[in-house]
């Protein structure tokens, strides 16, 4: 496997966190691996049976995990907290509010679109130059993740417009600084340019050969339809979709109810193979117990590794 960045996504409740955690557990035996949760629900801790926070937490072997929190990064809700290491330097436009505080009379009136996704992008840039050999993203349900993956283009345009505004105001700001003499140097333009550069780097990585997206679904029509729309959007944004995981396949059984479910899922599986021809499809059975610790995750590793 040559890809360094592996994204796991899908409709809510299909087991993508379990699949992502199992893949990370498998890779972590050989490579220094980091799994990042961008899902506000943060069920990654439950999957490993280990308390995971906003700092890198060692799980086992070469595996580490982190759960991104927009609030802990000081992003969103009209706050002007500092992003620190995850973003720009404090005092030089550390977060989006302080970055544009000199452009708007009331910085708290400015809401940045997609705050949770923006926080995830900041964290992404933090690990690009790290020594992790594999970085896995356990993403939020479909809508959140599509915003995350398309955010670089949107923000690139958005910040570009703000840069134009900032340049137009340069003469006026120079006059203000002249009136106050020793006014603090304005670094907002530099911060805007830096953020634009970071976003373009993220976009190049998302669409590059080092990145692959794994779609997780269950063999039910609603999941299949949503996954198809999801994959279409990913491909339209030049993001490679590699493996497709069909999770919770009911085992064949003499039980009348189970047999009926099995036949129904086989029909949907045929449809999945038609709709997603050309993609590798992995089947994972429905286990008799919940997958909520490392020992149980090992059972899933047999299918995703």
- With a threshold of 0.95, does the pTM exceed it? no
What pLDDT is attached to residue 62? 97
What pLDDT is attached to residue 31? 97
245 by DSSP, 3-state: which? Answer: strand
Q: How far apart are CA 32 and CA 62, in angstroms?
A: 5
Tell me if 11 sits within 8 A of 229, measured CB to CB.
no
Q: Which DSSP symbol is given to 55? A: S
Tell me if 121 sits within 8 A of 148, measured CB to CB.
yes
Instruction: Count the neighbouring beta carbons within 10 Å of the beta carbon of residue 243.
Output: 18
Q: Which DSSP symbol is given to 89? A: P
Tell me if 295 sits within 8 A of 17, measured CB to CB.
no
Tell me if 48 sits within 8 A of 147, measured CB to CB.
no
How are beta strands 33-37 and 5-9 bridged, if at all?
unpaired
Q: At residue 227, does pLDDT exceed 80?
A: yes
C-alpha dist (Å) from residue 199 to 51, 99, 139, 178, 212: 31, 15, 18, 34, 18
Mean pLDDT estimate for the chain? 79
If phi > 0 it is left, if psi is from -120 to 50 it is alpha, else beta; for residue 181 that is: left
Tell me if 227 sits within 8 A of 11, measured CB to CB.
yes
Task: Using pLDDT thresholds of 50, 70 and 90, give the confidence band for residue 101.
Answer: very low
Q: How far apart are CA 99 and CA 188, in angstroms?
A: 5
pLDDT digits (tens, 9 = 90+) for 209-222: 999 999 999 999 99
Average pLDDT over every residue of 155-166: 71
What pLDDT is attached to residue 147? 67
Q: What are phi and psi of 63, to 5 degrees?
A: -100, 135
Tell me if 251 sits within 8 A of 286, measured CB to CB.
yes
Tell me if 217 sits within 8 A of 227, measured CB to CB.
yes
Q: Which DSSP symbol is given to 186? A: P
Q: Which element (helix H / strand E) includes 67?
A: strand 63-67
What pLDDT is attached to residue 115? 58
Q: What are phi and psi of 281, to 5 degrees?
A: -120, 125
Give the highest mean pLDDT range of 112-121, 133-142, 266-275. 266-275
Q: Is 187 exposed, middle or buried (0-12, 13-18, 19+ CB in 10 A)?
A: middle
Tell me if 31 sits within 8 A of 1, measured CB to CB.
no
Q: Where are the beta strands (DSSP E) in 139-273?
A: 211-217, 241-249
Contacts of 167 (CB under 8 A, 6+ apart): 189
C-alpha dist (Å) from residue 21 to 34, 133, 147: 10, 16, 22
Determine what percent of the chain is predicted with pLDDT higher than 70: 70
The full set of domain ranges for the chain reads 5-304
Please tell me the CATH code under which domain 5-304 is placed: 3.40.50.300
Q: At residue 7, does pLDDT exceed 60?
A: yes
148 by DSSP, 3-state: which? Answer: helix
């Amino acid at each position: 496997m040559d890809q360094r960045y592996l994204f796991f996504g899908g409709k809510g409740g299909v087991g993508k966190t379990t699949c992502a955690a199992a893949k990370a557990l498998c890779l972590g035996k050989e490579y220094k691996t980091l799994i990042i949760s961008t899902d506000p629900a943060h069920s990654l801790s439950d999957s490993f049976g280990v308390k995971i926070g906003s700092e890198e937490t060692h799980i086992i072997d070469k595996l580490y995990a982190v759960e991104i929190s927009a609030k802990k990064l000081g992003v969103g809700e009209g706050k002007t907290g500092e992003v620190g290491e995850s973003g720009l330097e404090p005092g030089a436009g550390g977060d989006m509010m302080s970055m544009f505080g000199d452009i708007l009379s009331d910085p708290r009136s400015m809401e940045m679109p997609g705050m949770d996704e923006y926080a995830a992008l900041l964290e992404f840039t933090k690990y690009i130059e790290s020594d992790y050999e594999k970085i896995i993203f356990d993403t939020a349900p479909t809508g959140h993740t599509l915003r995350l993956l398309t955010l670089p283009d949107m923000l690139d345009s958005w910040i570009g417009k703000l840069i134009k505004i900032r340049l137009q105001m340069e003469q006026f700001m120079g006059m203000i600084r002249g009136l106050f003499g020793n006014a603090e140097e304005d670094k907002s333009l530099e911060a805007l340019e830096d953020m634009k550069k970071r976003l373009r780097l993220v976009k190049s990585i998302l669409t590059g050969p080092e990145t692959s997206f794994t779609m997780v679904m269950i063999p039910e029509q609603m999941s299949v339809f949503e996954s198809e729309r999801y994959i279409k959007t990913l491909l339209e944004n030049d993001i490679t979709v590699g493996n497709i995981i069909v999770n919770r396949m009911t085992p064949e059984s003499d039980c009348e109810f189970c047999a009926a479910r099995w036949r129904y899922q086989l029909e949907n599986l045929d449809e999945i193979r038609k709709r997603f021809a050309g993609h590798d499809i992995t089947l994972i059975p429905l286990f008799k117990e919940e997958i909520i610790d490392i020992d149980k995750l090992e059972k899933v590793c047999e299918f995703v590794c």
